[in-house]
């Protein structure tokens, strides 16, 4: 009894051990019926004892062939170790298990199996997820033109990267990917963003520098999404990266340009084809007093004086037809109402298709230049007056010499009244000559404060008279072709100064004789047949202008007559002509048919206008070689 009790007690304890063991355990009879299963097994699969024990084991296996194989091998006396199988839990989910199993035989008779099951579901699921993830990754790689990469769950390893020729490929898992791919300066921000993405299981997104295949630096926009398993844990990361080097470079170039524009000493403004301001740099703000946000969206007419509003039509017209405007001197009005002399350069802005969509305008403050130019003009005027004084002195000295002699003779011949009368008559003639010269001179220097109507050829002839002696002494023949009734409405003194400069140059070009051709013709502007005016040509048969001097002719201080010239004459002349809305051209040849011809066009001008026709035309100083 005692022995039996002891045995029964031992069996009860073993059964309890088996029942409560943490490893799943069951017995299956020779017919495949589950004879017994412990709590761990029931818990693993989620069944109650009734739902499991007494049922056929193959009902719970997912793969029929597997349980068949297991039973066959066990019946044959084989001992199975770590045999993998898939079981169906009560909730329909799969359980991956590793079985250790053998059959209890008694006298050769199959009593029941003894099967231990280790649950490896979690491991298998992760593996499965990875496999599926990898397949998706592969599909993504193949379908995309992006750089694609896979990182492990904490980004400590790069599993692979297909660089698409942009960055180097990684075919096998590496740990030092950050050194290989990421610019040292960008590593901290990349790591920071990775940490954040891992913590929040959210998308990693960053633009950063990478080392390109050729070793140079490039920019990439990289974006990675976490691949999650069923429980929402990160399995790994899929990333895609695009090459944005060109865009970033373009952006940098744009920023650089913007910085240049902003630091420019010139006002830089852009506007659309309706004259609406689209950009306004810092210097524009400084020069005109309007802030950027005050001007953007507003018409450029805001800074154009009312009487010059028609200029804007001309500007927009030129821009629409794709033309540029260079160094157009005009006036603009600041917010304070102050008038500012500016030089404008305006270029059309085109879109990708080449259509003109607006204009870029550079406005330079030329108030200082204007002051200097004014001082220079005064200087040249004084120099011209000096030259004139020398000429006049000579012209007056000759008649005075004659008068001195005649007075001497009159005194000597005093008793002979007839002789004295003849001498005094000659004196009177000489004095008339002097008076004529002084009148001419006065006319030359005195200027009118407003434009007057005057005859062009008569003006030219008056000047010619002043130079008459020089023409004679140098044997210069004068040929005139005049439209005698050609009149213009202009500042007569200035026009005389312009003519005088050209005549003096022509004379200087012919120290030992030649021909001076003067032509005055009623004509129209070359580029504007509707603008009536007068074309004046002053041509000499001198040595011509050397090719290398032609482009500098109209520049201030340019002179080939270092001893006597101020280098301002032609510059002044052009200024005068342009102020009157005209233009001046020069043709010159040093060859066989040598000579120089200055041809200027002066519009007739309108009586009611005074100052405003100074800005109706751009500079037109083309130099044409060859007479």
Partner 1 sequence: MKIIVVDDEPVIADTLVNILNGEGYNAISTSDGKSAIEWAIKFEPDVVVTDVVMPGLSGIDTAKAILSQIPKCRIILFSGQAASVDLLAEARSEGYSFEVLAKPVDPDLLMNLISRTQGSGI
Q: Which residues contact 254 (CB under 8 A, 6 or more apart)?
A: none
CB burial readout 463-483, b (16+ within 10 A) else e: bbebbeebbeebebeeeeebe
Q: With respect to partner 1, which residue has the nearer C-beta, 457 or 505?
A: 505
Q: With respect to partner 1, which residue has the nearer C-beta, 335 or 433?
A: 433
Q: Closest approach of Cβ 431 to partner 1, in Å?
A: 12
Q: Closest approach of Cβ 470 to partner 1, in Å?
A: 9
Q: Which of 126, 75, 51, 73 is nearest to 96 (CA)?
A: 126
Q: Closest approach of Cβ 541 to partner 1, in Å?
A: 17
Q: Is 214 left (phi over 0), alpha (psi -120 to 50) or beta?
A: alpha
Q: Closest approach of Cβ 428 to partner 1, in Å?
A: 12
Q: Which residues pair with 115 in a beta bridge?
A: 26, 101
Q: With respect to partner 1, which residue has the nearer C-beta, 214 or 472?
A: 472
Q: Which residues contact 573 (CB under 8 A, 6 or more apart)?
A: 497, 498, 501, 502, 584, 600
CA distance 336 to 339: 9
Q: With respect to partner 1, which residue has the nearer C-beta, 263 or 475?
A: 475
Q: Closest approach of Cβ 563 to partner 1, in Å?
A: 9
Q: Closest approach of Cβ 494 to partner 1, in Å?
A: 26
Q: With respect to partner 1, which residue has the nearer C-beta, 180 or 383?
A: 383
- What is the C-alpha radius of gyration for the chain, rounded to an integer number of angstroms? 53
Q: With respect to partner 1, which residue has the nearer C-beta, 441 or 599?
A: 441
Q: Closest approach of Cβ 389 to partner 1, in Å?
A: 10
Sequence length of the chain is 627
Are 359 and 274 a contacting pair, CB within 8 Å?
A: no
Q: Closest approach of Cβ 379 to partner 1, in Å?
A: 20
Q: With respect to partner 1, which residue has the nearer C-beta, 338 or 401?
A: 401
- The structure tokens listed for 626 are 């060859």
* Phi–psi pair at 216, nearest 5 degrees: -80, 170
Q: With respect to partner 1, which residue has the nearer C-beta, 273 or 426?
A: 426
Q: With respect to partner 1, which residue has the nearer C-beta, 391 or 612?
A: 391
Q: Closest approach of Cβ 467 to partner 1, in Å?
A: 13
Q: Closest approach of Cβ 403 to partner 1, in Å?
A: 7
- The structure tokens listed for 167 are 């960055």
Q: Which sign, positive or negative, has the C-alpha torsion 16, 18, 21, 26?
A: negative
- According to DSSP H, which parts of 354-477 are helical? 367-412, 417-445, 456-466, 468-473
Three-state secondary structure string covering 242-295: EECHHHHHHHHHHHHHHHHHHHCCCEEEEEECCCEEEEECHHHHHHHCCCHHHH
Q: With respect to partner 1, which residue has the nearer C-beta, 213 or 564?
A: 564
Query: Which residues are near partner 1 by CB under 8 A?
Result: 390-391, 393-394, 397-398, 400-406, 408-409, 412, 426, 430, 472-475
Cα 402 to chain centroid distance, Å, stands at: 75
Strands 325-333 and 514-524: unpaired
- Strand ranges, E, within 468-513: 476-482, 487-490
Q: Closest approach of Cβ 398 to partner 1, in Å?
A: 5
Q: Closest approach of Cβ 399 to partner 1, in Å?
A: 8
- Strand ranges, E, within 467-621: 476-482, 487-490, 514-524, 532-540, 583-589, 595-603
Q: Closest approach of Cβ 444 to partner 1, in Å?
A: 18
Q: With respect to partner 1, which residue has the nearer C-beta, 77 or 513?
A: 513
Which strand ranges, in their side-by-side order, compose the sheet holding 94-106?
34-37, 24-28, 109-119, 94-106, 80-88
Q: Closest approach of Cβ 594 to partner 1, in Å?
A: 22
The residue whose two tokens read 């199996």 is 113
Are 112 and 31 a contacting pair, CB within 8 Å?
A: no
Q: With respect to partner 1, which residue has the nearer C-beta, 173 or 560?
A: 560
Q: With respect to partner 1, which residue has the nearer C-beta, 511 or 591?
A: 511
- The structure tokens listed for 99 are 């079985």
Q: With respect to partner 1, which residue has the nearer C-beta, 423 or 617?
A: 423
Q: Which residues contact 304 (CB under 8 A, 6 or more apart)?
A: 311, 312, 332, 333
Strands 595-603 and 583-589: antiparallel
Q: With respect to partner 1, which residue has the nearer C-beta, 18 or 392?
A: 392
Are 389 and 292 a contacting pair, CB within 8 Å?
A: no
Q: With respect to partner 1, which residue has the nearer C-beta, 317 or 386?
A: 386
Q: Which of 319, 152, 171, 151 is nearest to 240 (CA)?
A: 151
Q: Closest approach of Cβ 500 to partner 1, in Å?
A: 18
Q: Which of 84, 89, 93 is nearest to 42 (CA)?
A: 89
Are 160 and 171 a contacting pair, CB within 8 Å?
A: yes
Q: Closest approach of Cβ 350 to partner 1, in Å?
A: 59
DSSP category for residue 466: H
């Amino acid at each position: 009894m005692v022995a039996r009790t002891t045995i029964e007690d031992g069996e009860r304890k073993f059964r309890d051990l088996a029942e409560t063991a943490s490893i799943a355990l069951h017995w299956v009879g020779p017919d495949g019926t589950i004879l017994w299963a412990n709590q761990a097994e029931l818990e693993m699969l989620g069944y109650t004892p009734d739902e499991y024990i007494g049922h056929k084991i193959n009902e719970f296996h997912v793969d029929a062939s597997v349980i068949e194989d297991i039973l066959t091998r066990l019946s044959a006396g084989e001992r199975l170790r770590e045999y993998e199988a898939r079981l169906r839990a009560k909730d329909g989910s799969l359980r991956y298990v590793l079985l250790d199993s053998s059959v209890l035989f008694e006298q050769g008779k199959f009593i029941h199996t003894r099967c231990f099951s280790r649950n490896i579901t979690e491991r298998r699921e992760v593996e499965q997820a990875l496999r599926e993830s990898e397949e998706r990754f592969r599909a993504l790689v193949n379908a995309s033109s992006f750089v694609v990469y896979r990182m492990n769950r904490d980004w400590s390893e790069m599993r692979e990267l297909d660089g698409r020729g942009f960055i180097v490929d990684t075919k096998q898992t590496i740990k030092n990917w950050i050194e290989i791919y990421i610019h040292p300066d960008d590593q901290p921000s990349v790591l920071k963003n990775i940490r954040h993405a891992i913590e929040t299981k959210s998308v990693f997104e960053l633009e950063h520098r990478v080392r390109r295949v050729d070793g140079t630096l490039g920019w990439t926009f990289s974006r990675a999404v976490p691949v999650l398993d069923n429980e929402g844990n990160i399995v790994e990361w899929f990333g895609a990266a695009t090459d944005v080097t060109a865009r970033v470079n373009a952006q940098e170039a744009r920023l650089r340009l913007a910085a240049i524009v902003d630091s420019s000493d010139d006002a830089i403004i852009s506007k659309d084809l309706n004259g609406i301001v689209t950009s306004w740099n810092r210097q524009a703000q400084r020069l005109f007093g309007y802030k950027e946000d005050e001007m953007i969206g507003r018409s450029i007419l805001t800074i154009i004086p009312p009487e010059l509003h028609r200029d804007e039509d001309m500007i927009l017209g030129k821009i629409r037809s794709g033309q540029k405007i260079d160094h157009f001197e005009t006036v603009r009005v600041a917010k304070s109402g102050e008038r500012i002399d500016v030089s404008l350069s305006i270029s059309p802005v085109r879109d990708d298709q080449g259509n003109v969509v607006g204009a870029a305008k550079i406005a330079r403050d030329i108030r200082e230049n204007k002051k200097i130019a004014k001082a220079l003009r005064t200087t040249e005027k004084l120099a011209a007056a000096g030259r004139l004084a020398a000429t006049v002195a000579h012209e007056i000295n000759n008649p005075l010499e004659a008068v001195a002699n005649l007075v001497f003779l009159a005194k000597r011949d005093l008793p002979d009244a007839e002789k004295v009368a003849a001498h005094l008559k000659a004196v009177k003639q000489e004095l008339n000559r002097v008076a004529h010269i002084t009148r001419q001179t006065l006319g030359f220097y005195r200027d009118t404060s407003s434009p007057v109507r005057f005859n062009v050829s008569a003006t030219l002839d008056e000047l010619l008279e002043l130079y008459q002696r020089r023409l004679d002494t140098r044997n210069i023949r004068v040929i005139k072709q005049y439209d005698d009734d050609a009149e213009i409405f202009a500042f007569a003194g200035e026009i005389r100064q312009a003519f005088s400069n050209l005549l003096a140059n022509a004379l200087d070009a012919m120290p030992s004789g030649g021909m001076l051709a003067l032509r005055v013709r009623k004509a129209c502007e070359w580029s504007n047949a509707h603008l009536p005016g007068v074309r004046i040509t002053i041509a000499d048969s001198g040595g011509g202008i050397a090719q290398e001097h032609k482009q500098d002719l109209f520049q201030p201080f340019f002179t080939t007559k270092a001893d006597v010239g101020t280098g301002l004459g032609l510059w002044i002349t052009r200024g005068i002509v342009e102020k009157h809305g005209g233009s001046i051209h020069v043709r010159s040849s040093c060859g066989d048919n040598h000579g120089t011809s200055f041809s200027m066009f002066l519009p007739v001008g309108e009586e009611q206008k005074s100052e405003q026709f100074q800005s109706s035309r751009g500079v037109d100083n083309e130099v044409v070689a060859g007479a």
